[in-house]
A and B are shown apart, each in its own frame.
Chain A
């Protein structure tokens, strides 16, 4: 269970302050699939980065399973990101010189796991349909395949929440559909998912949709 209370985020660009979030309150329950929509620059990514613990809010409270994440230090946040969260980016963000398998294995290394790491990584790669591409580097794969590797990496530690910022934004329709199929399947399997999308039909398939406008939730607020 994630609860956001009156979250704001202010960016300072020199002397100009940008209010990217102006008080967002939101709850995400276990097992739900939430789609975030909104115009460009409305603050969707800012919100998702805060939910994914990649960034800290300027003010407001963020509770994860009742625990105030504002009180956690950087190491504790890193641990939460590692075990409870899986992030999928629009531009994949894979390590370019590492193989698909090594990329997927990365979170396991940082969780200090020592046994059966490769097997686990291989298993998750198979789940996203890339069993045969384990030794390929990102540059040797299509965009859709790279995004599957990124999803496998997000899933490898069996996180509580999977976050995705426009996961199909850089993909053609067909590979995009393949990626979305994975998310729908994960959702059916009970995984909690939050994703940002510009595509109405993706939003329509999600269980719940919220619209962000000018740093506020304007529709679907819970």
Chain B
């Protein structure tokens, strides 16, 4: 029997049983769509976080308060103020911290911001001019907080792109007045949009003010030693290669300043961009894996569905097999007919599944979660993976029923049922 005839036979038999074929396909379609849809979320989260973090610059080091004795992200809390503006100033000394270029203290809090009739609640960040370079921002309009602003505790503010949009619409905010916690500030600049959100927190939704103004006029918070507290300190060093050396120096300086004895644990944590990136990627990688596993299970269920329907169909069609064998069909003819049937089902099913999965990914990216929109990434490797798994499952689940059908004795098959 020629291949073309086997194929025609298989196709005829599939179209003769449209409902059965469609139901079998549905299992594969759902499985493949789930793999592509869910993996696109995982990959999307990974991609957006990675791009966000990479934007921070690889020669930045972050210092944050940490409850002594705890390790990992669990101990990183902003609520215990152990870092101060004075710590930041101490770290800016190149004779104590190798390769340091600049240091930005970061105080942050939430407040209502009002401009005219518009009002938003957003993050207020108190910092100094070093922040812009260290965090990789650039200006869309006006200028950043200056040294002078910090010295004079000026009531000036720089807006994130999204916050500027929310408060002023399309109008130019530079020179306009806003009220933060009831105090009037003059907008001196607007940041270029960075795009991307980190854990749902947009990097474009914020108001920056001088660190001195932040403490003196908005949020007074002191460390236990009576210094102005900050939520984090960003240290910029000359190059990515200088990061590890600088981290050691930073630890020395801070332990010294915090009067920690040799066996006391650190009350701060020093993290490089690379470390954040790798631990976040570890988490998002696990997320992708988890989503993939869920999707894989649904694909497997689809495969078992094919196997089941193929088995039922072999039983149902035992007489047909008997007739074909009686008129001269060989084992391989029966085998190839049933295998081709499941191959066609899994091929067409996975093609439809890919389309459905891509539509799903589209729909997901329209959903907005916690104010930020979700990014989904459909990468070719996932498509290839989903299709090959689907076809593999389709063929494997087709082989057993096909073998059973092919082995039947013609007369037994004819007398069946």
- A: residues with CB less than 8 A from B are 49, 52, 54-55, 74-75, 78-79, 81-83, 87, 89, 93-95, 97-98, 106-107, 109-112, 114, 153, 157
Known: A55-B409, A112-B1. Is A95-B326 also a contact (CB below 8 A)? no
Known: A95-B320, A110-B1. Is A54-B326 also a contact (CB below 8 A)? yes
B215 on the A face (CB < 8 A): no
B319 on the A face (CB < 8 A): yes
Q: List 12 A-B contacts (CB under 8 A).
A: A54-B326, A54-B414, A55-B410, A93-B323, A93-B414, A97-B13, A98-B12, A107-B328, A109-B1, A109-B9, A110-B1, A110-B327
- Check B328 against A93 for contact (C-beta < 8 Å): no
Report the minimum CB–CB distance from B330 to chain A (whole Å): 5
Chain A residues with Cβ below 8 Å from B2 are: 112, 114
Report the minimum CB–CB distance from A44 to chain B (whole Å): 14
Can you name the residue of chain A whose Cβ is closest to the Cβ of B9? A109
Can you name the residue of chain A whose Cβ is closest to the Cβ of B8? A109
- B: residues with CB less than 8 A from A are 1-2, 5, 9, 12-13, 16, 319-320, 322-333, 409-411, 414
Report the minimum CB–CB distance from B412 to chain A (whole Å): 8
Can you name the residue of chain B whose Cβ is closest to the Cβ of A86? B327
Chain A residues with Cβ below 8 Å from B325 are: 78, 81
Chain A residues with Cβ below 8 Å from B320 are: 95
Report the minimum CB–CB distance from A97 to chain B (whole Å): 4
Q: A81-B327, A97-B12, A109-B5 are in contact. List 18 more A-B contacts (CB 8 A).
A: A52-B326, A54-B411, A55-B410, A75-B332, A78-B330, A78-B331, A81-B325, A82-B327, A87-B327, A93-B319, A93-B322, A93-B323, A93-B414, A95-B323, A107-B328, A110-B329, A111-B328, A114-B2
Chain A residues with Cβ below 8 Å from B411 are: 49, 54-55
Can you name the residue of chain B whose Cβ is closest to the Cβ of A56? B409
- Check B410 against A54 for contact (C-beta < 8 Å): yes
Report the minimum CB–CB distance from A49 to chain B (whole Å): 5
Report the minimum CB–CB distance from B38 to chain A (whole Å): 39
Report the minimum CB–CB distance from A161 to chain B (whole Å): 14
Chain B residues with Cβ below 8 Å from A111 are: 328
Most buried by A among B5, B323, B329, B409: B323
- Check A75 against B328 for contact (C-beta < 8 Å): no
Chain B residues with Cβ below 8 Å from A109 are: 1, 5, 9
- Check B330 against A107 for contact (C-beta < 8 Å): no
Can you name the residue of chain A whose Cβ is closest to the Cβ of B407? A74
- Check A75 against B330 for contact (C-beta < 8 Å): yes
- Check B326 against A93 for contact (C-beta < 8 Å): yes
Report the minimum CB–CB distance from B221 to chain A (whole Å): 81
Report the minimum CB–CB distance from A155 to chain B (whole Å): 12
Chain A residues with Cβ below 8 Å from B333 are: 110
Can you name the residue of chain B whose Cβ is closest to the Cβ of A98? B12
Can you name the residue of chain B whose Cβ is closest to the Cβ of A87? B326
Chain B residues with Cβ below 8 Å from A87 are: 326-327
Partner of B328, one of A55, A95, A97, A110: A110
- Check A81 against B326 for contact (C-beta < 8 Å): yes
- Check A110 against B324 for contact (C-beta < 8 Å): yes
Chain A residues with Cβ below 8 Å from B329 are: 78, 110
Known: A55-B411, A93-B319, A112-B1. Is A106-B16 also a contact (CB below 8 A)? no
Alpha-carbon gap, A114 to B3, bound state (A):
11
Alpha-carbon gap, A111 to B5, bound state (A):
11
Alpha-carbon gap, A87 to B409, bound state (A):
16
Alpha-carbon gap, A52 to B258, bound state (A):
100
Chain A residues with Cβ below 8 Å from B414 are: 54, 89, 93
Alpha-carbon gap, A106 to B16, bound state (A):
16
Chain A residues with Cβ below 8 Å from B323 are: 93-95, 106
Chain B residues with Cβ below 8 Å from A81 are: 325-328, 410
Chain B residues with Cβ below 8 Å from A94 are: 323
Alpha-carbon gap, A66 to B411, bound state (A):
24
Chain A residues with Cβ below 8 Å from B331 are: 74-75, 78
- Check A82 against B328 for contact (C-beta < 8 Å): yes
Report the minimum CB–CB distance from A183 to chain B (whole Å): 19
Most buried by B among A52, A95, A153: A95
Most buried by B among A109, A111, A153: A109
- Check B330 against A106 for contact (C-beta < 8 Å): no
Alpha-carbon gap, A76 to B1, bound state (A):
14
Can you name the residue of chain B whose Cβ is closest to the Cβ of A74? B331
Report the minimum CB–CB distance from A160 to chain B (whole Å): 14
- Check B330 against A74 for contact (C-beta < 8 Å): yes
Alpha-carbon gap, A9 to B200, bound state (A):
78
Chain B residues with Cβ below 8 Å from A75 are: 330-332
The 10 closest A-B CB pairs, nearest first, are A82-B328, A110-B328, A97-B16, A107-B327, A54-B411, A55-B411, A78-B330, A54-B410, A75-B330, A109-B5
Partner of B330, one of A54, A55, A110: A110
Known: A97-B16, A114-B2. Is A106-B327 also a contact (CB below 8 A)? yes
Chain B residues with Cβ below 8 Å from A82 are: 327-328
